[in-house]
Amino acid sequence: MRHLLDVCDLSVDELYSLIATAEDIAANRAKYAHILDGKKLATLFFEPSTRTRLSFEAAMLELGGQVIGFSEASSSSASKGECVSDTARVVANYADIIAMRHPIEGAALAAAEKSPIPIINAGDGGHCHPTQTLADLLTIHRELGRLDDLTIGLCGDLLYGRTVHSLINAMLRYKNIRFIFISPKSLRLPEYTLRALEEAGAQAVETASLEEYMPDLDVLYMTRIQRERFPSMEAYNAVKDSYRLTPDKLESAKATMRILHPLPRVNEIAKSVDDDPRAAYFRQTFNGKLMREALLLFLLSDAAKSAPSNLPKGEKCAEKCPNPKCITNNEYGFEMMCTSLEDGTKKCRYCETKL
């Protein structure tokens, strides 16, 4: 059985195949209207969402399937202390596949370890958000016609922005990608993403300026400063207004450049940018539904269901994960597991923090 916990759970060939399926769904809607008749998706959202939850639900309904689930932890037995793996194990009796969002990093993996049905990570804290990356990849492919040979600027909250971490992991596997990381110093990328960039020998520069590299960019990926992940309001207030994309800042950008944003936005893109043909973020939300349809078809296919488990490998270890937001520090009964790194050190199997 295959799960989708990290975007790298899908090979590059599989990503291209999902893109082709998404395009076919868009062009031949009637062909897919009953393809998942009798199947049920459970959306278990322990954290707020508009796009991810509703696009998953719309995706399943448009494929002929049905949907059950909850949209907040307070209406589930998590509010009574149930652990995420027990929830997944129970819901597996009622559904064929689970899409789960959780504020704690590594929660989707913890659920997948005990689940007899596929788990889709719909966002685990500040760690990753692989299905947003599927939306991002289809958008880039549709708008620019390629996933290779790109200069991508990622701007805003690179520390807590899980969509950024997943997009980088995905783009590291395409040819000739140059990254421009635009953030305040305090919101630079986390260590595990920097490590992935270093291991891949990626072309990357860091800057605090939104304008500096604007003429070079093929894609500008704007992000919201993630207020809910900051340790204090004081820390959030210090950086909350760091960037604001306005029409004048786009004057030096290529006519073919595309602006993406996972949304929701707060104030980092002025509404006056929305009518610029380069603004692709609302088209991106539609693409998210198409890719989630393609993903449901893939994970519920006989081939994926009979495939060997793709859970990340790990070994028992005595150390405690240093990340207070890791699932291993937030639920009882966890046997800590870690994975060895190339340099001989170890990372937490659940949240990837270096031990």
Catalytic residues: 51-52, 80, 101, 129
Total of chain residues touching ligand CP, rule CB under 6 A: 9
The answer to whether the CB of 109 falls within 8 A of the CB of 339 is: no
Q: Helix or strand or coil: residue 18?
A: helix
Whose CA is closest to 157, among 193, 183, 126, 121?
183
**Part in contact with ligand CP (CB under 6 A); list of ranges 48-56, 71-79, 82-90, 191-199:** 48-56
Alpha-carbon distance of 100 to 44, in angstroms, equals 5
The residues near 247 (Cβ < 8 Å, ≥ 6 apart) are 270, 272, 273, 276
Q: Which range in 46-54, 240-248, 252-260, 309-317 contacts ligand CP by CB under 6 A?
A: 46-54
**Smallest distance from ligand CP to CB 6, Å:** 16
Instruction: 342-346: list long-range contacts, CB under 8 Å, 24+ apart.
Output: 342/199, 346/317, 346/319
**Could you say which of 65, 118, 130, 262 contacts ligand CP (CB under 6 A)?**
262
Cis peptide before 264 (omega within 30 of 0): yes
- Quick one: which of 11, 28, 50, 79 contacts ligand CP (CB under 6 A)? 50
Pick 83 or 137: Cβ nearer ligand CP: 137
Looking at the chain, the number of H-run helices and the number of E-run strands are 10, 12
Q: Does 52 bind ligand CP (CB under 6 A)?
A: yes
Q: Minimal distance in Å, beta carbon 262 to ligand CP?
A: 4
Does the protein bind ligand CP through residue 263 (CB under 6 A)?
yes
CB of 175 to ligand CP, least distance (A): 27
Show contacts with ligand CP in window 167-196 (CB under 6 A). Answer: none
Report the nearest approach of ligand CP to the CB of residue 169 (Å). Answer: 16
- Which class for 34: exposed (0-12), middle (13-18), buried (19 or more C-beta within 10 A)? exposed
132 binds ligand CP (CB under 6 A): yes
Residues that bind ligand CP (CB under 6 A): 49-52, 123, 132, 262-264
